[in-house]
Each structure stands twice: as structure tokens, then as C-alpha cells.
């Protein structure tokens, strides 16, 4: 399914801190007077941004410093503060959406416009996919909202850096590398295979690493879910090797869990609670 929607964030109207007439002139006319004006405006903006960063932006809240990276990384809250003083508001538009069982991904454009005049000041693109390393241990449908919000955040920060000259002081948010950004989902790191303690491949004690049944043992999960996990691995959409497990042994654990669950159901003369109560497909199971 493809989506093409537009969203405008409504923000309380407040006086601008950086007035539009103090910004560099946007014109086709190129002469010495215009160039001098733009240089002076640029120098003043950068100087004020440095001062603002020093007194109003908080490290590890609005931006982060990454070892080996010269510039600090701008985070969403820092971008929001910078856009506030420039009197800019965002408009988001989904350019491309992929929403399938095996993958959710979004490409989003963020345009920044002056709150009062509506003048376009700049834009940025953001993309995020459930196939990114840090999301692979989760079921795509369970993190669809996280994926779209991350794409939106990336486009917003990119637009901020380009529209306000903040790129002189900051780089793009590095949460999507090996650095753990503050806006990542709980339990997530840049390298998910390092996020979990390796477990014994015992179906009665092994706990799911993500998705709808995260932290549940295999025996506690419904049979349809276990069968889906087996197919997911067999189709190459999930790689147990990144968690340190042999693929064949990993699948064998799920198959053993199915056998145990079947024996227990036959002994009780019933079915799994979830399957018995709802009797619907996996995607219909409520959270």
C-alpha cells in the first residue's frame, strides 16, 4: 500500500526572535551590495547560534558529542529550539511508503516555512525502514509507527541544518549509526546483536527478543506465531546468526516448541488460548 499524505504541525503563534528581514536576501539579483549583506547576515547568524548553543542547548538532551566526530550531533529537541528562534514551522509529506508484512519503510520530505509569511526556507529528506539493523529483531507491523516517526525526525533535522545554517555547528543526528540516540525505541541500540544476552536454545526457557511476544518463552507464544518465525528465518528475513545462533539449531528449537505445545494441548484436550478465543489470522490479534 502506498500513501501520499501531508501533515502540518500547528504551533502556538509567538513573536519571532530572528526576523525574516534579518536573513540573507533571496533574490536572483547578484551584486556587491547583496553579497555583502548576505555575508554580514551569515556571520551574525552563526555568531548568535554559537551563543545560543552555549547558553540554551543542553548536551545529551538537545545534541550529543560522538567520539571521533568533530561536530556534535543535533537531536530533535535541539532542532525544535533552533526552529523556534528562526520562527519556522515544519510541513511533512510522505513521498513513498512501503507497508507489507515483511517490511515497513517511509521516505518523508520536511519543508520549513516562516510561521507568519509562509515563505519557504528549506527542506530535508528522511528515510527509515524496518530492515535497518537495529529493527530486524522486531516484527515490522509492531514498529510501523516507530519507523514513520524516525523518518520524519531525520527529515526534520536535515531541513533544520540546511535552513538555519546550523550545519556550521552540528552534523546530522547519528542515532542511525553505532551511536544510541535519545529518540530510539526502548531497548534499542545501534547494534541489536549486542543488545541481548545469548540464551540457551531451550524452547521452555528461551524468550523472544522482540515483536508482539517479546520476553515471552516459546511455549507461551501461540503456534501460528512460532510457525511464522520459522518461515521468517527460512526465507532469510531474519538472521539468528547476528545473535550468535546456528540457523538450523535455532529453527529446530521452534519446531521442538511446536511439538511440546501440541502434546500439552492434546493432553488437556484444548487449544492455545489465543487461537481458541479469537480464531483469526496473526495480523488480527489485538495488542
pLDDT in tens, the chain (287 residues): 444 444 444 333 333 445 555 555 555 556 777 788 888 888 888 888 888 888 888 888 888 887 777 888 999 999 999 999 899 999 999 999 998 878 899 999 999 999 999 999 999 999 999 988 888 878 887 888 899 999 999 999 999 999 988 888 888 765 543 444 444 444 343 333 444 577 888 988 998 876 677 788 898 888 888 888 888 788 777 777 777 788 888 899 999 999 998 888 877 765 444 443 333 333 333 33
Indicate whether 168 and 258 sit together in one domain.
Answer: no
Indicate whether 148 and 232 sit together in one domain.
Answer: no
Positive or negative CA dihedral for 35, 38, 44, 50? negative
Q: Is residue 1 included in any domain, yes or no?
A: no
Per-residue cell: 251 = 529453527
Half-sphere exposure of 121 (CA within 13 A, CB side): 28
Asked if 46 and 168 count as a contact pair (C-beta separation under 8 A), the reply is: yes
Write the DSSP symbol of residue 247: H
Q: How many residues does the chain have?
A: 287
Max Cα–Cα distance, the chain, nearest Å: 89
Q: What is the pTM of this model?
A: 0.52
Indicate whether 37 and 154 sit together in one domain.
Answer: yes
Indicate whether 268 and 213 sit together in one domain.
Answer: yes
Indicate whether 29 and 149 sit together in one domain.
Answer: yes
Distance between CA atoms of 192 and 209, rounded to whole angstroms?
10
Q: Is residue 97 included in any domain, yes or no?
A: yes
| Residues of the chain by 3-state class (helix, strand, coil), percent to 5 | 45, 15, 40
Q: Is residue 187 included in any domain, yes or no?
A: no
Q: Is residue 184 included in any domain, yes or no?
A: no
Domain that includes residue 20, residue range: 6-176
Indicate whether 30 and 165 sit together in one domain.
Answer: yes
Q: Is residue 181 included in any domain, yes or no?
A: no
Which DSSP helix (H) or strand (E) runs through 95?
A: strand 88-99
Indicate whether 74 and 162 sit together in one domain.
Answer: yes
Q: What is the domain count for the chain? A: 2
Q: Is residue 192 included in any domain, yes or no?
A: no
Indicate whether 209 and 89 sit together in one domain.
Answer: no
Indicate whether 172 and 273 sit together in one domain.
Answer: no
Amino acid at each position: 500500500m502506498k500513501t501520499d499524505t501531508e501533515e502540518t504541525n500547528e504551533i502556538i503563534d509567538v513573536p519571532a526572535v530572528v526576523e525574516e528581514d534579518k536573513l540573507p536576501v533571496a533574490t536572483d539579483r547578484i551584486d556587491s551590495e547583496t553579497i555583502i549583506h548576505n555575508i554580514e547576515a551569515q556571520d551574525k547568524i552563526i555568531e548568535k547560534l554559537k551563543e545560543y548553543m552555549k547558553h540554551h542547548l543542553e548536551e545529551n538532551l538537545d545534541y550529543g558529542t560522538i567520539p571521533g566526530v568533530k561536530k556534535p550531533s543535533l537531536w530533535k529537541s535541539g532542532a525544535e529550539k533552533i526552529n523556534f528562534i528562526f520562527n519556522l514551522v515544519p510541513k511533512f509529506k510522505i513521498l513513498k511508503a512501503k507497508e507489507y508484512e515483511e517490511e515497513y519503510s517511509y521516505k518523508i520530505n520536511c519543508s520549513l516555512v516562516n510561521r507568519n509569511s509562509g515563505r519557504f526556507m528549506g527542506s530535508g529528506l528522511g528515510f527509515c525502514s524496518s530492515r535497518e539493523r537495529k529493527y530486524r529483531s522486531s516484527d515490522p507491523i509492531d514498529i510501523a509507527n516507530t519507523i514513520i516517526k524516525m523518518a520524519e525526525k531525520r527529515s526534520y533535522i536535515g531541513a533544520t541544518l540546511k535552513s538555519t545554517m546550523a550545519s556550521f555547528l552540528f552534523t546530522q543526528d547519528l542515532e542511525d549509526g553505532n551511536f544510541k540516540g535519545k529518540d530510539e525505541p526502548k531497548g534499542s541500540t545501534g547494534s541489536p546483536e549486542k543488545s541481548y544476552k545469548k540464551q540457551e536454545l531451550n524452547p521452555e526457557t528461551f524468550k523472544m527478543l522482540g515483536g508482539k511476544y517479546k520476553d515471552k518463552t516459546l511455549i507461551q507464544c501461540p503456534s501460528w506465531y512460532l510457525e511464522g518465525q520459522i518461515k521468517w528465518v527460512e526465507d532469510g528475513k531474519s538472521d539468528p546468526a547476528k545473535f550468535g545462533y546456528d540457523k538450523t539449531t535455532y529453527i529446530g528449537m521452534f519446531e521442538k516448541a511446536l511439538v511440546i505445545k501440541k502434546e500439552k494441548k492434546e493432553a488437556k484436550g484444548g487449544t492455545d488460548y489465543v487461537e481458541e478465543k479469537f480464531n483469526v489470522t496473526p495480523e488480527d490479534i489485538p495488542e
